[in-house]
Each structure stands twice: as structure tokens, then as C-alpha cells.
């Protein structure tokens, strides 16, 4: 088989897999999407597993050096923390938005992450924003605890207020080039750092 035919066959296979996944997610329950999502490569599947963690961090998992101020500290920060640790940060919620359709959630339009943008003050510019994310699994865990972590509820209850978030540390390599710490001064930057709490495992409104 020629190289062109192999590429076409691989593309067709990927299209069929994505289409079948999307169809099944529409017809069947949200639990269908596995932890590796719809990623194809081994590194992609491992990255999706990190995004989709559902274990609650225990006290020894938390890195006490992780604060909002530390996340905002300028400088190349890829190796600043470990994705095996959890963090606890406080700040003002400036925005709550629904995430996009992505491989982590098997390209489901219905089950998507929620991005909460946190900053030292309510009117901070985008280059001072830190992203924390509520995943579908985290939203479901909250529902079982009697908490509503829907986009609408989080917008209503969090925007403009000082809050505390807990969750697993994740370096979102897909958006690293759009962060001030990796690409200082770039016009594309909409966040301070690619480090996130993802998934969020606890939310507390402080004031």
C-alpha cells in the first residue's frame, strides 16, 4: 500500500472512530467515555487520564507551595510543580465559561469541562488569570454530594467573589504558548500560566 493510501486509510479510520464515539455518547449515558477519552497516541491517552482523574486528593497529596501568587510568578514554569500533586488556591472569580468539545470528553457536546478563571482581584487583566477546571466527572461527584456545579450555578454563585479551590495540578501543554509565563508579552496570551487545578475537587466561597 502506498504512503498516500495509508494516510487516507488512517484518516478514514480516525473519522469512523470519532463518529462512532460521538454517536454512542449521544445515545448512551455519560459514563461511557473512558478516562483516556478519545485520544489515539499513548502520550495523548496519558494526558487525558490526568485530565479525567476522579480520585479525591488526600492531605499528603497537597503541595503547600502552590498558591495563586506562586502560580502568577513570572518565568518559564513548565517544571515548577508536579502533576502528581494537588493544590489549594484562593482568588477572585472573574469568569466562568463552558469548555470546548475535546478528546478528553470523547468529543461530547453535552458533557464538557467548565473553565473558571481566577485572579488576585476581580478586574485583573487576562494575563493575570489562572484557570481551574470542573470536569464532567467532578460535576457528577459534586451532584452526588448535593452540590450543583453546572455552568449556570457556578456563574451565579462565584463570579466576583473570593473563593478557594482544591484540585489536582495539571500543566496544560495545549495552551502553554498562550500563557504569559511561557510566551511573555505575546498578543495571543489569555492566561498567566498553563498550570491549572484540573480537575477541581472542592470549591468554597469565602466572601
pLDDT surpasses 80 at 141: yes
How many percent of the chain have pLDDT more than 90? 84
CB-CB contact of 57 with 123 (8 Å): no
Q: What is the pLDDT of residue 53?
A: 97
Q: What is the pLDDT of residue 11?
A: 55
Q: What is the pLDDT of residue 97?
A: 98
- Cα–Cα distance list, 148 to 24, 113, 117, 138, 145 (Å): 26, 14, 18, 11, 9
Cell numbers found for residue 28: 448512551
DSSP annotation string for 119-132: ESSTT--GGG-EEE
Q: What is the pLDDT of residue 14?
A: 53
Q: What is the Cα–Cα distance from 195 to 172, expressed in whole angstroms?
A: 6
Q: What is the Cα–Cα distance from 132 to 162, expressed in whole angstroms?
A: 14
pTM: 0.85
Cell numbers found for residue 45: 491517552
How many percent of the chain have pLDDT more than 70? 85
pLDDT band for position 32 (cuts 50, 70, 90): low
Alpha helices in 133-194 (DSSP H): 136-144, 151-158
What are the two backbone dihedrals, phi and then psi, of residue 10, each rounded to the nearest 5 degrees? -65, -40
Q: What is the Cα–Cα distance from 126 to 142, expressed in whole angstroms?
A: 28
Q: What is the mean pLDDT of residues 93-120?
A: 96
pLDDT band for position 27 (cuts 50, 70, 90): very low
pLDDT surpasses 80 at 6: no
- What fold does the segment set 59-205 form as a domain? OB fold (Dihydrolipoamide Acetyltransferase, E2P) (2.40.50)
Q: Let me know if 199 is exposed, middle or buried by CB neighbors in 10 A (0-12, 13-18, 19+).
A: buried
Q: Let me know if 47 is exposed, middle or buried by CB neighbors in 10 A (0-12, 13-18, 19+).
A: buried
User: What's the maximum distance between 2 C-alpha atoms anywhere in the chain?
Assistant: 64
Q: What is the mean pLDDT of residues 134-162?
A: 97
Q: What is the Cα–Cα distance from 108 to 139, expressed in whole angstroms?
A: 15
Q: Buried b / exposed e across 132-170, counting CB within 10 Å, b at 16+?
A: bbbbbbbbebbeeeeeebebeebbeebbeebbebbbbbb
Which helix (H) or strand (E) segment holds residue 167: the answer is: strand 162-171
Domain ranges of the chain: 59-205
Q: What is the mean pLDDT of residues 60-85?
A: 98
CB-CB contact of 93 with 164 (8 Å): no
pLDDT surpasses 50 at 29: no
pLDDT surpasses 80 at 10: no
Amino acid at each position: 500500500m502506498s504512503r498516500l493510501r495509508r494516510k487516507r486509510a488512517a484518516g478514514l479510520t480516525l473519522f469512523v472512530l470519532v463518529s462512532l464515539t460521538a454517536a454512542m455518547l449521544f445515545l448512551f449515558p455519560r459514563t461511557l467515555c473512558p478516562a483516556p477519552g478519545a485520544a489515539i497516541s499513548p502520550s495523548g491517552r496519558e494526558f487525558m487520564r490526568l485530565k479525567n482523574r476522579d480520585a479525591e486528593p488526600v492531605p499528603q497529596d497537597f503541595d503547600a507551595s502552590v498558591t495563586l501568587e506562586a502560580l502568577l510568578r513570572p518565568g518559564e514554569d513548565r517544571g515548577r510543580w508536579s502533576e502528581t500533586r494537588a493544590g489549594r488556591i484562593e482568588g477572585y472569580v472573574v469568569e466562568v465559561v463552558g469548555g470546548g468539545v475535546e478528546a478528553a470528553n470523547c468529543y461530547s457536546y453535552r458533557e464538557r469541562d467548565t473553565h473558571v478563571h481566577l485572579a488576585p482581584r476581580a478586574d485583573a487583566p487576562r494575563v493575570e488569570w489562572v484557570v481551574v477546571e470542573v470536569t464532567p466527572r467532578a460535576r457528577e461527584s459534586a451532584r452526588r454530594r448535593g452540590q450543583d456545579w453546572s455552568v449556570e450555578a457556578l456563574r451565579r454563585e462565584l463570579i466576583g467573589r473570593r473563593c478557594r479551590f482544591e484540585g489536582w495540578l495539571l500543566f496544560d501543554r495545549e495552551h502553554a504558548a498562550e500563557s504569559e509565563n511561557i510566551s511573555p508579552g505575546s498578543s495571543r496570551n489569555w492566561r498567566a500560566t498553563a498550570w491549572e487545578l484540573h480537575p477541581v475537587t472542592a470549591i468554597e466561597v469565602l466572601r
